[in-house]
Chains A and B, each alone.
Chain A
Amino acid sequence: MSRTPRRSLRIGANVVGVVAFLVAIFPVYWMVNSSFLNRNEIRNPVPTWVPFGGNLDNYRTVFETDQFLNALKISLMVTVLTIVVALAFAFVAAVAVSRFRFRGRMSFIVTLLVIQMIPVEGLFISQYKMLEAMDLLNTVIGLSLVYVSLVLPFTIWTLRGFVTGVPYELEEAAMMDGCSRTQAFFRITFPLLAPGLVATGVFGFIQAWNEFTLALVVMTREDQRTLPLWLSTFTDVNRGTDWGGIMAGSTLIAVPVIVFFLVVQGRMVAGLTSGAVKG
């Protein structure tokens, strides 16, 4: 084949690549940029493209509002509780599914798949009624309960991949050397699973940290808001006024998530595919 069409394809692809990169990254850049600008720069008809000479006033404003620190506290409590419970429950379930053959195993796996397809929006009405009856509306425990059910299917599914990824032969070898089955599992397999557990936990953390819909339904009181709820009302109340503060708040919420996401993303893909291949 001639070289020219191939070269023009490469040039075309590169141009599209650079444009797509700019579109993808610009909102993220603009969020960080605006968070450092003062009110005059924000309201200037001519935008300020780089935050040189910017300051931390917007961040100071955010930290000075009680609502932010309170929402941060609620968010941390809910996510930590959710992750600890979900990881513990999912871990034992994943071991059962990948290390044992038993009746009902397939139906359990199928149920997990089906549950993952259920939209939150189709169930929150009765979840609200249930939590109301249990007196758990506006409580960290109530929100964590629905969050556990939200992240559990995916967590079991992923951990199952990681557990299957550790060859059973290793455990057998340990048992030949005189370990009991339980000992073999905890001394050999468990340490090899640690990275998978961390990755899955971080992924669940991101999900719970970002979740909006259920938080909106369960946490109706202002003093029980999570960070996403706080941010959404921040825009509402101060509409058109304090974009700098809103962007500082958004940056504060986004940075930990972005860092975590970049760290675990590759590992999650590895875990998922190993699960998919080895069943």
Chain B
Amino acid sequence: MNGSAPRARRTPLPYALLIPATVALAVALGYPLVRQVVLSFQDFGLAQQFGRPPEWVGLGNYRELVTDPYLWRVTLRSLVFCLVNAAVTMAIGVGLALLMRHMTSWVRVLLQTGLLLAWAMPVVASLTVWQWLFDTQYGIVNYLLTKLGLDFQGHPWLLEPLSFFFVATVIVVWMSVPFVAFTVYAALTQVSEDLVEAAEIDGASPLQRLRHVVLPAIRPVLLVVGLLQVIWDLRVFTQIFILQQAGGSTRDTNLLGTYIYRLGIGGGKFGMAAAVAIFMLLLTVILTAPYVRAMLKQESED
């Protein structure tokens, strides 16, 4: 830290300044977290909603879940969806960022404008537009594919689970690529030109320069952005929920988020839903531990 900050005087002022934020977070996040752990050990269903005291069932909810093949199917589905989406987003986003350096400047500005607009679109508005694009009867996707000579007249995109997830992936990737492309491009502009030129003079091919000079230089950024994608795609909710409203079987398309919602708020099984939510939190912790550790390291080095 720069030595100009005030000395560490013994004053209660900073603690007082932290009180409002701490209380708000404790009430709206801390308490629910504790409550949820408690809930996950209770039988809390519709009867309890109507006033019967909840029963302690110990690990009962968890045992029931772990032995339910459906939970594993949803978990596997969520993980596959998450990894596929994160990988496709990263590939396209990083690819665009790398190519941006070689574009004529007006093309680059054009592309950045388009990406910025896609990034700024509210989630729900993007979802309605994409549903309209993929609409069975009047959608432009079916129109264009039919024009190309394929049989897509009246094709229902959301009916089959695989096709449902394809549409969801298109939407998620479309929404996530701008963040990746901009962040990685910003990192690329920091890579020293001299270094790249030196490698060029030493006879390194473009691919070699990419592999041995450029990518290692932006590795920390790639790591953080990639992990953020994994976190965000694991918890994807809105896209799946709204597409489920538009058609398709919820049972075959549930991911962890929508499963928790339908189990708890939809079905009144709050104890079970809490147990799945705890399971999901643990999954997130496992996936994010490396990221948080890296951030901590950076923070303590400052």
User: Which of B21-29, B57-65, B67-75 lies at the interface?
Assistant: B21-29
Interface residue ranges of A113-159 to B (CB < 8 Å): 113-115, 117-130, 145-146, 148-149, 152-153, 156
B41 contacts A by Cβ under 8 Å: no
Q: How far, in angstroms, from A128 to B2 measured CA to CA in the complex? A: 44
The verdict on A47 contacting B143 (CB below 8 Å), with A118-B284, A121-B237, A217-B261 known, is: yes
Q: How far, in angstroms, from A257 to B117 measured CA to CA in the complex? A: 10
Contact mask for chain A residues 27-53; partner B; CB cutoff 8 A; 1 contact, 0 none:
110110010000000110111000000
A176 contacts B by Cβ under 8 Å: no
User: Which of B83-91, B107-115, B159-167 lies at the interface?
Assistant: B107-115
Interface residue ranges of B1-38 to A (CB < 8 Å): 1-2, 4-8, 11, 13-15, 17-18, 20-22, 24-25, 27-29, 31-33, 35-36
Instruction: Give chain B nearest CB distance to A162 CB in angstroms.
Output: 15
Across the interface, which residues of A come within 8 angstroms of B281, CB to CB? 118-119, 122-123
A247 and B128 contacting across the interface, CB-CB below 8 Å: yes
Q: How far, in angstroms, from A57 to B17 measured CA to CA in the complex? A: 52
Q: How far, in angstroms, from A167 to B281 measured CA to CA in the complex? A: 40
Across the interface, which residues of B come within 8 angstroms of A130, CB to CB? 31-32, 35
Interface bin, chain A: 35 or more
A60 contacts B by Cβ under 8 Å: no
The verdict on A31 contacting B13 (CB below 8 Å), with A101-B8, A232-B242 known, is: no
Interface residue ranges of A167-199 to B (CB < 8 Å): 167-169, 172
Across the interface, which residues of A come within 8 angstroms of B148, CB to CB? none
Contact mask for chain A residues 238-275; partner B; CB cutoff 8 A; 1 contact, 0 none:
01100100110111011001100110010001000000
- Which residue of chain B is the closest to A104 with respect to CB atoms? B15
Interface residue ranges of B97-128 to A (CB < 8 Å): 99-100, 102-104, 107-108, 110-111, 113-128
Across the interface, which residues of A come within 8 angstroms of B2, CB to CB? 278
Across the interface, which residues of A come within 8 angstroms of B246, CB to CB? 235-236, 239
B270 contacts A by Cβ under 8 Å: yes
B302 contacts A by Cβ under 8 Å: yes
Across the interface, which residues of A come within 8 angstroms of B14, CB to CB? 96-97, 99-100, 102, 105
Instruction: Give chain B nearest CB distance to A230 CB in angstroms.
Output: 9
- Of A20, A145, A279, most B-chain CB atoms within 10 Å: A20
B77 contacts A by Cβ under 8 Å: no
- Which residue of chain B is the closest to A108 with respect to CB atoms? B18
B8 and A102 contacting across the interface, CB-CB below 8 Å: yes
B132 contacts A by Cβ under 8 Å: yes
Across the interface, which residues of B come within 8 angstroms of A126, CB to CB? 32-33, 35-36, 39, 274, 277
A279 and B299 contacting across the interface, CB-CB below 8 Å: yes
Across the interface, which residues of A come within 8 angstroms of B136, CB to CB? 240
Name 23 A/B residue pairs within 8 A (Cβ), A-sorted: A30-B129, A31-B125, A42-B138, A47-B140, A90-B21, A93-B17, A100-B13, A101-B8, A106-B300, A121-B256, A121-B277, A122-B278, A126-B33, A129-B270, A152-B24, A168-B6, A210-B122, A231-B128, A232-B128, A249-B128, A250-B124, A257-B120, A279-B299
The 8 lowest CB-CB distance pairs between A and B, nearest first, are A279-B302, A149-B28, A119-B235, A96-B17, A261-B120, A24-B114, A126-B36, A121-B257
